[in-house]
Amino acid sequence: MKKILATYLLSLLGFFNLRAADIDVTADISADTTWSASNTYILKDYIFVEPGATLTIEAGTTIKADVGTADSAPALIVTQGAKIHAAGTAANPIVFTSVSDTGSNLGKDDKGLWGGLIILGNAPINSNGGSNADNTPLTNTIEGVPTTSGISGKSIPASYAQYGGTNAADDSGVLQYVSIRHGGAEIGSGNEINGLTLGGVGNGTTMDHIEIFANKDDGIEFFGGSVNAKYLTVAYVGDDSFDIDEGYNGHLQFLLSLQDENSNRAFEWDGSTESDDKAADTSTLPDYSAPVISNVTAIGIGKDGTSSHEDNNIGLEIRDNAGGQVWNSIFTEFAKSIMDVEATSSSKGTQSSTDSSVYGSQALMQNGVLVFKGNLFYNGGHSDGNTASGTAKVTRHALNYLLPVITTLLCIRSYRFRNCRWKPGVNAWSAHPRSGSPAPLRR
């Protein structure tokens, strides 16, 4: 009997050893593929999901990447025409992290250990990279992808880094309950990988419950497109929590941004690109980005804090001819300012309909294209931007409603979210344009 039991246990052990394995991923994905939660997948290179292929990742799967820098940092890239179906659950999220992550050894200062997740779609963008050349539909090349892998030496086709098109409803798949940790390798100056990079991703894509933790560059960056997303958390990144460019016009709801002294802005919000501001001549989109953003809680480094970035921590930096809407949100404890709204030169910005001397995002605010309703701005810094007094001036012009001043925000300022019991009255909020009814703040 003992011999039979021992044989059975050895067989069972062998079965589990076969089922649970570390699988090296070295080749691009050219056909429909499923990654099982029974295994851990190790990204060994720049791995591309090729056009026509779908990568399905089961709930509870862990994907790790080799440690690398510059053009030797592994990343997963979903190309135009490909799909990713990563539907985790609250109990079994999908985790992207570094091979150095053993579960408890890495913290918020462990950044840039690998690349990140990049998804490229066929939805419209309003820039082709600073050129007004005839390029219909507008396309661009995503940042963070080299022309040659520094790991394997393989040549990366230019089309694998392209995004943008004509289909606003383009479907790149599903991302739900996904955590992306410790990424953000820098390929070169100004060419970094964000935790999650979205280039021309359409609103046929499903995206919710996404967490970015300790990324070296931005948390999530939207390069044009129209994807809608909700329940997004970005914590302790090395640059901006959320970055908006190239005419992005989707809806974002229920966002949380937590920052420390190594962080930059909660939102960097551009109309087109940082170099050209306005849309290219052939763009079918407006000159400006036009997202609708609601129910944000953004907490900076502290009103008296000091950031390692020259901008020294801003809640909302709205510039380069950016437009859009912010509803029913809280921005607090930013060292430089709660909000900076830029005026651009006449050659780069939209002109105000009420003051011919004003161009850019300030003009868009006067024109009713840049709108703020039902927000609370509390404990902004004292520097040379639109600071506490400047922000108040902007607020009076931009807000239809403002929450009553709440002097006790200890639950927020101390990051003790679970202890918050803040239930503002419905009449303190503005009706959200999509639903026509208030969207209550979720803690």
Instruction: Report pLDDT digits (tens) over 38-96.
Output: 999 999 999 999 999 999 999 999 999 999 999 999 999 999 999 999 999 999 999 99
> CA 24, CA 47: separation in Å to the nearest integer?
11
Question: pLDDT at position 14, please?
Answer: 54
Question: pLDDT at position 267, please?
Answer: 97
Beta-bridge partner residues of 25: 43
Q: pTM of this prediction?
A: 0.86
Residue 234 near residue 220 (C-beta atoms within 8 A): yes
Backbone φ and ψ for 309, nearest 5 degrees, come out as: -90, 150
Beta-bridge partner residues of 198: 119, 222
DSSP run (H or E) holding 6: helix 2-19
Question: pLDDT at position 390, please?
Answer: 35
> CA 176, CA 208: separation in Å to the nearest integer?
5
Give 346's DSSP letter: T
pLDDT tens digits, one per residue of 315-369: 999 988 899 999 999 999 999 989 999 888 777 788 899 999 888 889 999 999 9
Torsion of CA 326, 328, 333, 335, to 10 degrees: 10
| Dihedral sign of CA atoms 411, 413, 417, 421 in order | positive
Residue 243 near residue 143 (C-beta atoms within 8 A): no
| Length of the chain measured in residues | 443
> CA 111, CA 273: separation in Å to the nearest integer?
26
> CA 271, CA 117: separation in Å to the nearest integer?
24
> CA 225, CA 205: separation in Å to the nearest integer?
11
> CA 334, CA 313: separation in Å to the nearest integer?
6
Q: Structural domain boundaries of the chain?
A: 22-402
Residue 337 near residue 300 (C-beta atoms within 8 A): no
Q: Kindly report the number of other CB atoms within 10 A of residue 236's CB atom.
A: 22
Residues in the chain, pLDDT under 50:
15, 17-18, 385-429, 435-443
Cβ-Cβ contacts under 8 Å for 258 (sequence gap 6 or more)? 233, 234, 235, 236, 299, 415
Beta-bridge partner residues of 65: 43, 98
Cβ-Cβ contacts under 8 Å for 4 (sequence gap 6 or more)? none
Beta-bridge partner residues of 230: 208, 253
CA distances from 167 to 53, 137, 238 (A): 19, 10, 33
Residue 171, classified by CB atoms within 10 Å of its CB into exposed (0-12), middle (13-18) or buried (19+), is middle
User: Mean of the per-residue pLDDT values for the chain?
Assistant: 84
